[in-house]
Structure 1
Amino acid sequence: MMQMRFQPQVVNFCMVFLFATLSVLMLTSPIACAQNESPDIVSVGAGSYTTKLPTGAKEPGTLPFVTEAVKKPIPTNDWWSSLVFSKFSNQMFPHPLGVQAHEKGLRIYYPGVGYTANPEGIFTAVMQAPDDLVIGHSAQLTFPDARAESWSDWFVTAAFGNKLFLTFGHGSPFVYGTITDGDPTFTFASAPTVFSGDAKSPVLGVTLGGRSYGLFGAAGCTWEGTGTSKLTCKGKSYFSVALLPDNKQETLAFFAKYAYNHVTDSKVVWSYDEKTSRVTTKYAFTVKAYEGATLGTLFGLYPHQYQRSATKLTDYTYQCTRGTLKVAAGEGFTTVTPFQGVLPLLPDFGGYEKATLKKFIDTDAATYKPELADTYWTGKALGKLATLAALAEATGNTAANTALRARLQALLEDYFTAKDAKTKGLFYYNKPWGTLIGYPASYGSDEALNDHHFHYGYFIRAAAELARQEPEWASQAQWGAMVNLLIRDCANPERSDPLFPFLRNFDIYEGHTWADGKGDFADGNNNESSSEAMNAWTGMILWGELTGDKKLRDTGIYLYVTEKDAIDNYWFDVNKLYPKAFTRSLASMVWGAKAVFATWFSGDPIHMHGINLLPLQSGSLYLGTHPAYISENLASLATERIAHDKKDAKRDQSLPPRTGKNWGGWGDVILMYQALADAPGALANCNFETQEIESGNSRANFYYWMHFLSKAGQVDTSISADTPLYGVFKKGNQRTYFVYSATAQPRRVTFSDGKVIVTRKVGIVTESRPLK
C-alpha cells in the first residue's frame, strides 16, 4: 500500500492491448481497432479503452529512466523500480545486499548488520553516509543519471553514463561490472583492512566495520590505492564485488570460483501438475564465464524457498529482513509446493435458517446499488456483489441472484467501455509505462502505478463469477478480452507481450507482490494487504478455469501458492523466523528493509490484522491452514485492542473492551477468521442483526460463512485432489469433500486419500464420509 487512506486498501487498475481479430485467444490475441468515434478508442471485444488521457486525469509525470536499447514494456512495482522512476534511485534491497544508484556510482552495503527487532517490527540497516563502498569510474567522478539497461526475472543491469554497467539481483552476494574508457574504482568510508591479496593480485579480500567484501579484478590486473580509502582496479573491462559471509581465506577462495561467472539472465518456469496438485517452480541462472571453468553461480535462498526445496545448501548464510538467507551453488534450484484448491463459492451445506439468510440477501439485493467510484472502491463493490450473487444462486434465491448479477454486469461493462467525452469509469493505456490506468484512480494508482493487483483483482474475481453463471458474457467476442487486459496488466504470464511487462506486481524471487509502483522509499518497496493479492489470484484461477485458458489458470495457481508461502512466513510468521523481541502475532506491512505492525490508514490493531484477511470469500480458505496460529493471532489482537483503547483519548474509557463479542467495526472480518479455527466459538460471539459490516463484506456472507464452517469444520490441508476447484473439510470424525465442475461432462475426481467423486453436472458436488 502506498498512500494514506481512511479505509483499508490500495488498488490500481492497468490494462490494455490491441487485438487484430476477436476470434483469437486470450493473452496472445492482438486487438483490432474497430471503427469508433475516434482513433483514440480501441475496441476490445464488446468493450474498449482509450489511448488518450481523459480530461483532468493524471498519469506518471516522467518518462522511464531506461537506455535507448530498451524496447519492451517497463516493469514497475518491483524491488528495483525506483531505478526507472528516478534520475538515480532510492535504496533497493535485493538481499543480502542493499544498493543505491548515486551520481558517483553504485553505493553498496550490508543491511543485515542492522538486523534488530522491537514490539513494532523487524528492521535492518538503511544506508547512511559514509557508505560501505561505492563502485565508480576512474575517468568520470559523477554521472548524469543511472538508467535500467536490461533486466531479467530477478536481476537488473544499471547503466551509469553508458560507461559503467553494473548487474545485481535478488539472492546474489555479487555485483557484476563491465566498464569502458576507464577503470573501476572502489571508494570506502575509510581505508579498509586488506585480509587477503596485495596490489599485484587480482583478488582482494577487505574488511570494513565488521563487513567483508571480495574484490575480483580480471586476471593480470593490479590495484592502485591499497592502504587508502579508494582502490582502483587497473586491467581488463570486467570485474565483480561480493559481500562475504566472513573474512576467512577459504571463504574468499570459494567465492572466487564463481566471481567471474556474470549472471546474464534469471528465469522462472512453473508448472502445475493437476494429478498431484503440486506446483513445481524452477529458478535458473544463465552466466557468462569471463574466466575459469566453474559452472553456475552462488545464490541465497529465502526461507519460503529452502522450505520447499531439496537443493543442497552450503554452510554460508546472510541475515535479511525475511530471516536467514542460505547460500547454494549451481545453475538454479527447484521448489515443489502443494495447491489446496479453491472454490468459486461456498455451496449450500445447510445448517442455517433459510428465512434469515433470505432476508439478508433480499435486503442487499434491494438496497445495495453502488455507484461508479474509483477503481479501488468500485472493485470492493464488485467483490461484494460477486459474493452475494454466488450465494443467492447457491441457495436458490433466483430473484436476488438476477438482480445482483445485473448490477455486477452493469458496473463492469461501464468501466469496460471508453468514449471520447467520458472521464470516469474507463481505462486508459499509457504507452511509455506499458500500463492500463483506470479512472477515477485512487491511492496513487495513476501517477505512481500503485496497487493495480489489489484494484484489478476485484474486477477479475467479479468477472469470474459472471463467467461461471453467464459463460457467453465472458467470451472474447463479448467482455472477456477486457478482463484479459486487466490480468495482463498486473500478472502477465508472457515475457514477449508488446504492451505489458511480465508479472508486474509479483516479485518472483521474494515470492510476494509489491504495492508501490515506484518503490521510492529509503526502506525500499512495500506491501500491506497480502489478502487482497490472494483475492486477485483467486479470480485469476477461476477465470482461467471457467474460460478454458489453462495457461492463465496455472499462472494464477503458481502466484497463489507462492504468495501463500510468503504470507505464512513473512506476514504471519507461522514458522517463527522473527526475533522474539517482535511480540506481535503478525507483521501487517512488509518492506524491503523491514516488516512492521502498521498500516497506511489506521492505528487501530483490528485494521492491522483485518487488512491481511479481507475480502473473505471462497478463495480465502488458505487462511485456515494453521488453526493454532489463528488462535494466537486473535489472542494478540485482543491484547493489542485493549491497550489501544486505553491510549485513545477520544474513547469513553467506561465502555467495555472491543474484543470478543464486541469487536465493533470490522468485527465481522475477525469473527469469520476465527471461524476457520473455532466456528462454534466464533458463532457464539455473533450478533448477526447488529454487527457492523466491513464495506466490502455483506451481512448475508457473514451469516452464511459462519454457519457453513460450523457445519463443515476446519479446512483439511492433508488431502488434495486432481482438479483445481475443490475443498476438503474435517469436523470430528467426518470429512467432507467439495468439487466444482465447470462442465456437465462426467469427470472422475480422485482425492489423495482414495476418495472418488464423479461429477455429472455443472456446479458443486458434495460428499462426506467418516474418517478411517
Structure 2
Amino acid sequence: MTKRKLWPAMIGIVTLPTLIAAQSVSVGAGSYSTVRPPECAPLPTELSKTSAVKGATPTNQWWSSLVWENYSQNLFAHPLGMVCHAGGLAVAYPGAGIDGKSGNIMGGAVSKTGDFVIGHSKMSQFPSSKLGGYSSWFVTVDFTEAGSNLTTTFGHGSPFVYGQIKGGDPLVTFSDKPVVWSGKEGDAVLGVTVRGNHYGLFGSKGSKWTGLGSSKFTNEGSKGYFSIALLPDKKAATFSTFLKYAHNHVVDTTVAYKTLNGRLETTYYFETKAMEGSGKGTLFALYPHQWKYSKASLSGQEYRSVRGVMKLSSGSSFSTSVAIQGLLPMLPAEGIADNARMRAYLTKEAAATKTTEYKDTYWEGKHLGKLATLSGIAGVMGEKEMQAVFVAEIRTRLENWLAASEGETSPLFYYNKTWGTLIGNKPSYGSDKELNDHHFHYGYFIRAAAEVARLDPAWAKKWGPMVNLIIRDIASIKKDDEMFPHLRCFDIYAGHSWASGHAKFADGNNQESSSESMNAWYGLMLWGEVTGDTALRDTGIFLYNTERTAVEEYWFDVSGTNFPKDFPNVALGMVWGGKGAFATWFSGDIDCIHGINWLPFTPASIYMGRFPNYVKKNHARIVEKREKGNDYNNGWGDLVVMFNALNNPKMAAKYIDENPACSLEGGNTHAFMYHWIHTLDRLGRNDSGIISTHPFTNVYLKDSKKTYAAYNFQKQPLQVKFSDGFSMTAEPGRLTVKSSDQ
C-alpha cells in the first residue's frame, strides 16, 4: 500500500541528528542500527504464528493479515476466498459475483458466514487463529484450544481447502440450507450446492456426513483429515475427478526458473501427501498470466476471478515460457536530437546537485533515481565531468544511508529482528509501522548503487555488502535466510508484488505503483550483473518479466480479455486481492491514476511499449477524460506524453520541442524526457517480437529499419545473437549500437 502525496514539499526534511544510544552492526564498509530511531513508529512485538513457524516470517503477502491480527481479514486465494474468525474458517467463491459497472472491478463478498464455515464439533469458539506454516503460495492456519485442534491449508490456484482435526470432527455450517445432489446421509463424500456454488465434501474413508436436511453437516468418524473443493460444475465426471485428488493434500509449493535463449522458463511445483491411497498430484487453476504462456494440459473447466478467467489443470507441476524483455542501463546517444540542448539540460541539473538535506526513503529514492538516469545520459554523451558530478552525489548520499554511526538516527537503516526487516529512517507512507512499500523505496537505492558500481567496481566491493542487505529485505533469494523472508514483496503464483506489509483490509492486499515494483527488479538485474552475482541477476530477470506479464494482464489488460465487459475504464490504478480499483491512495486525477503505474520513467520503462495499440487506446481515454484534454503542460502531462511516445513518438517529439521547459512530475527531468522521446522518434518503437541471448539489449523498429543496442558490462567483447538472425559484437564496458543496414 502506498499513500503517496502529490507534492514533495509535504515531506519532512532531516535537519540535525537526534542522539541515541545506537548499536551499530558493521556490514562491509557500511553498517546498520539495531535500535529503533525515535522517528520510526514501533512495530508489534509479537506475530500471530505457532512455534512450528521458524525464521523470518513473510509480510507483504496475500495472507499477511493472518500474522498481524488475532484472526484475519479476508484472504483471497483465488478462486476461493477465506476469512478466519472465532468459529473457524469461512469459505466463499468471490468469482460468482464479479462486475465492473461501478467503474471498479468488484468481486463477491467473503464475510464471516461465507458460503460455509469450517469448524470443530467440540469447539464453538477458538480464541485465535495463527499462521501454522506456509510455502511459496500455500498457507496453513492453526485453530487450537484445550486439546481441540483444527488446521486448514489452502493456496493460490487451488479449488481445495485441506483440513486436519484432533479432539473432534469436522463441522461445516452453511450460510443457507444446501442442496445435496450427490450422496446421502451417512456417506463419506457429498456433492452440494449453496448460494448457487457447487462444492465437494470429502470425508476420510469410513467416515459419514450427518445433519443432511439442516444447515450444519458433521463428518462423524473422521480419521483426522478431510477436504472441501469448489467444483466448476456438478457433473458426475467432474465430481469423480475431484474425488480422485481429494485426499492428496498439498504440503509444499515451490518455483524454479531459468533463462534459456532469451526466454524465461518457470516451473511451478505442487508437492502432495496422500492421506489415503497412493495417489499423487492435485488440481490447480492457472491465472491468465500463466495459461497464456503455458502448454499445460487444461481440462476446459474454468473459474471466474477478479484477475480474469482461471483455467483448471491437474498434475504435480506446470511450466510457463515468457519472452525476456531486454533492458539497458541507459538509452543510446543516437536518441539525442540536439546535443547542445541536452547539454544545457544536464548543466542545469549538475548545477543544482549538491548534498544538503536528506529526505525520507521514498523521496530520497526518487532523487537517487533521477541522478542515476542523468549519469547514464551524461555518459553516452561523453560528458565525463558532469557524469562525475552526478555519480559523486549518488555516492555521497548512499554512503550516508548505508552507514549507521553511533549516536546517529538519520539517514540510516535499522533492523527489526522480530519482523525480519530493514527500515530506513526517515520512513514514509507506513514503511516503518506497517512495512509498506519497501520494494518501491529501496528499488531506487539499488538502481543508484548499480550505477555507481558500473563505473567504480571498487566502491561496489566496499559498500556492496550493505546494498545486498537492502536487497535481501525486499527480495532475498535464500529460502533459509535467517534475517529476511524469501522474496518478501513478491507473490510467486499471482505473478506480482504486494505493497502493504500487513494486508489488513477487507479487500485483501493491494499494489498501486506496479511500475515502481518493476523499477526494483530492474535494479536487481543491474546490481547482479555489475557485481557478478548471476543468481541475483537471474532472480531480477524472473521478477521483472513475471511481473511484466502480470502488469499487462491485470493493470492494463492489453488484450482486452480480463476486465469485465461492463468495466468502463482501460486500466486500473490499484490491484487488490478482492477487487480492481480505478483509483490511487492520493488522488482521483486521471493523470495520477494512470501515471502511478508508469513512473519512474527509466530505460527499463520500454516494457510498456510492447503493445502499441494498447498505448494508443490508453492515451486516447486519458485525453478524453483529462480536464484540459491534450494541454499537457499541467498535472502529470509530461508522463502522459512520454507514455504516448511508446506508440506515437512523432507527437511526443513535437510537444517536447515546442515546450522545452514544460511542467514535470516530481521524479522526472527534462533531460530524460527529451532523451526518451527522441530515442523512440529517431530509432523507433520497441520491437518486442525479437529476443536475444543477452538480457541487456533493446531492439527498435522504425519503418523497416531495425536498430540493435546492447550494453556489455564485462571486460571482454561479447557476441550477442538476436532471434531474427542478427548478430553483433558488444564492445566491453559500453553501449554498442548497430542498425540492420550496417
TM range (shorter): over 0.9
Is 1:150 the counterpart of 2:150? The answer is no
Matched, 1:310 2:295: yes
Which residue does the alignment assign to 1:5? 5
Native 8 Å contact 1:425 1:439 kept in 2:
yes
Q: In structure 2, do the counterparts of structure 1 residues 524 and 355 end up closer, same or farther at CA, with 3 Å as the change threshold?
A: same
Kept in 1, the 8 Å contact 2:87–2:119? The answer is yes
Indicate whether 1:603 and 2:588 are aligned: yes
* Partner of residue 693 from structure 1, selected from 646, 654, 664: 664
Structure 1 residues 26-49: Cα deviation after superposition (integer angstroms, max 9, x where no partner): xxxxxxxxxxx9882110111000
Cα drift, residue 62 of structure 1: 4.0
Distance across 1 between alignment mates of 2:734 and 2:447: 17
The amino acid across from 1:746 in the alignment is P
* Cα separation, 1, equivalents of 2:302 and 2:228: 17
Question: CA separation in 2, counterparts of 1:380 and 1:519?
Answer: 25
Matched, 1:660 2:630: yes
Residues 1:415 and 2:385 are matched in the alignment: no
The 3 A distance-change label for structure 1 pair 400 and 659 is: farther
What do residues 404-448 of structure 1 show as CA deviations (whole Å, max 9, x unaligned)? 111111111111011232222111111111111111111111111
Aligned-partner Cα distance in 1 for 2:299–2:471 = 39
Aligned to 2:224: 237
Helix, strand or coil: the match of 1:60?
coil
Give the match's secondary structure for 1:660.
coil
Paired AA for residue 419 in structure 1: S
Q: Deviations over 1:494-531 (max 9, x none)?
A: 10111111111111001001001111111111001111
Q: Deviations over 1:607-634 (max 9, x none)?
A: 1111111111111111110111111000
Normalising by structure 1, we get a TM-score of: 0.92
Give the drift of 1:742. Answer: 1.0
AA aligned opposite 2:630: G
Query: Does the 8 A contact of 2:186 with 2:210 survive in 1?
Result: no
Q: Which consecutive aligned stretches of 4+ in structure 1 deviate over 6 angstroms post-superposition?
A: none
Residue by residue over 1:363-384, the C-alpha shift from the partner in whole angstroms, topping out at 9 and shown as x without a partner, is 0111144631111010000001
Task: Please list, as runs of the form range in 1=range in 2, the aligned pairs for 1:106-121 lying within 5 A after superposition.
Answer: 106-118=89-101, 120-121=103-104
Give matches, 1:525-544, under 5 Å: 525-544=509-528
CA contact (8 A) 2:22 2:408 kept: no
- Equivalent residue letter for 2:655: N
Q: Output the CA distance in 2 between the equivalents of 1:56 and 1:606.
A: 32
Partner residue, 2:349: 364
| Larger mean Cα displacement after TM superposition, 304-313 or 421-430 | 421-430
The C-alpha deviation readout for 1:122-176, integer Å capped at 9, x for no partner, is: 1111223543111111111111111111100000000001611110000001000
Structure 2 partner of 1:269: 256
In the alignment, what sits opposite 1:27?
Answer: none
CA deviation after TM superposition for structure 1 residue 293, in Å: 3.7
**Is 2:647 the counterpart of 1:677?**
yes
CA pair 760-184 structure 1, distance change in 2 beyond 3 A: same
Question: Is the contact between residue 90 and residue 113 of structure 2 (CA under 8 Å) also seen in structure 1?
Answer: no
**Residue 472 (structure 1) aligned to one of 453, 458, 474:** 458
* 1:202 counterpart = 2:188: yes
TM-score, scaled relative to structure 2: 0.96
Question: Cα–Cα, structure 1 residues 396 and 602, in superposed 2: closer, same or farther, change >3 Å?
Answer: same
**Deviation at residue 247 of structure 1 after TM alignment:** 2.4
Per-residue CA deviation, residues 262-287 of structure 1 (Å, 9 max, x unaligned), is: 000000111112xx111110100011
Alpha-carbon distance, 1:601 to partner: 0.4
CA change 1:547–1:4 in 2 (3 A) is: closer
Alignment RMSD, CA only?
A: 1.7
Distance 1:581 1:114 in 2: 13
Aligned-partner residue type, residue 109 of structure 1: A
1:506 aligns with 2:506: no
Correspondence 1:211-360 to 2 at 5 A: 211-235=197-221, 236-273=223-260, 276-349=261-334, 351-360=336-345
How big is each residue's C-alpha offset from its partner over 1:666-686, in whole Å with a ceiling of 9 and x where there is no partner? Answer: 222111111121111111122
Residue type at the aligned position of 2:302: T
Which of 614, 618, 624 is matched with 1:629 structurally? 614
Does residue 709 (structure 1) correspond to residue 680 (structure 2)? The answer is yes
Q: CA contact under 8 A between 1:588 and 1:597: conserved in structure 2?
A: yes
Counterpart in the other structure of 1:25? none
- 1:553 counterpart residue number: 537
Q: Is the 8 A contact 1:138 1:184 kept in 2?
A: yes
Q: Distance in 1 between matches of 2:738 and 2:381?
A: 18
Gaps of 5+ in 1: 12-36, 646-657
Deviation readout 1:734-771 (Å, 9 max, x if unpaired):
11111111123122211112212113331011111249
Q: 1:42 to 1:129 in 2, by over 3 A?
A: closer
Distance in 2 separating the partners of 1:72 and 1:391: 43
Q: CA–CA distance in 2 between the matches of 1:185 and 1:66?
A: 24
CA distance in 2, matches of 1:335, 1:495: 22
Structural mapping, 1:85-104, within 5 Å = 85-104=68-87
CA distances 1:670-726 after superposition (whole Å, capped 9, x unpaired): 111111211111111224433111111111111222222211111111211111111
2:415 is matched with 429
User: 72, 92, 105: which is aligned to 1:122?
Assistant: 105
- Is contact 1:70-1:149 (8 Å) kept? yes
Q: Does 1:575 align with 2:559?
A: yes
Q: Secondary structure at the match of 2:563?
A: coil
| 1:767 is aligned to 2:738 | yes
Q: What does 1:122-141 align with in structure 2 at a 5 Å threshold?
A: 122-128=105-111, 130-141=113-124
Q: Output the CA distance in 1 between the equivalents of 2:273 and 2:303.
A: 25
Query: Structure 1, residues 544-591: CA drift from partner, whole Å, max 9, x if none?
Result: 111100000000000011000000000111121212211211011100
Residues 749-768 of structure 1 correspond to what in structure 2 (within 5 A)? 749-768=720-739
Count residues with an aligned counterpart.
Answer: 726
Read off the aligned partner of 2:595 and give its amino acid letter: G
Tell me how far 1:228 sits from its aligned partner. 1.0
Which of 64, 67, 70 is the aligned partner of 1:84? Answer: 67
Provide the residue aligned with 1:719 in structure 2. 690
* SS of aligned partner of 1:389: helix
Report the 3-state secondary structure (helix = DSSP H, G, I; strand = E; otherwise coil) of the residue aligned with 1:532: helix
Residue of 54, 57, 66 corresponding to 2:49: 66
Structure 1 range deviating more: 741-750 or 493-502: 741-750
Q: CA deviation at 1:254?
A: 1.4
- Residue by residue, what CA displacement relative to the aligned partner does 1:46-88 show, whole Å, maximum 9, x if unpaired? 1000111113421322411010112211001010000001000
3-state SS of the aligned residue for 2:309? strand
Distance in 2, Cα, partners of 1:212 & 1:767: 59
For 1:462 and 1:4, the matched residues in 2 are separated by 21
Describe the shift of the 1:217–1:122 C-alpha distance in structure 2 as closer, same or farther (beyond 3 A).
Answer: same
Residues 1:81 and 1:129: Cα distance change in structure 2 (over 3 Å)? closer
Partner of 2:389: 403
| Structure 2 contact 90–114 (Cα < 8 Å) conserved | yes
Aligned counterparts of 1:755 and 1:591: Cα–Cα separation in 2: 42
Does the 8 Å CA contact 2:166/2:224 hold for their aligned counterparts?
A: yes
Alignment partner, residue 500 of structure 2: 516
Q: AA paired with 2:646?
A: L
- 1:350 CA displacement: 5.1
Q: Distance in 1 between matches of 2:3 and 2:680?
A: 35
Q: Which amino acid aligns with 2:472?
A: R
Distance 2:477 2:7 in 1: 31
Tell me which moved more, 187-196 or 733-742: 187-196
- Alpha-carbon distance in structure 1 between the residues aligned to 2:269 and 2:338: 54
Match of 1:20 in 2: none
8 Å CA contact 1:5–1:443 kept in 2: the answer is: no
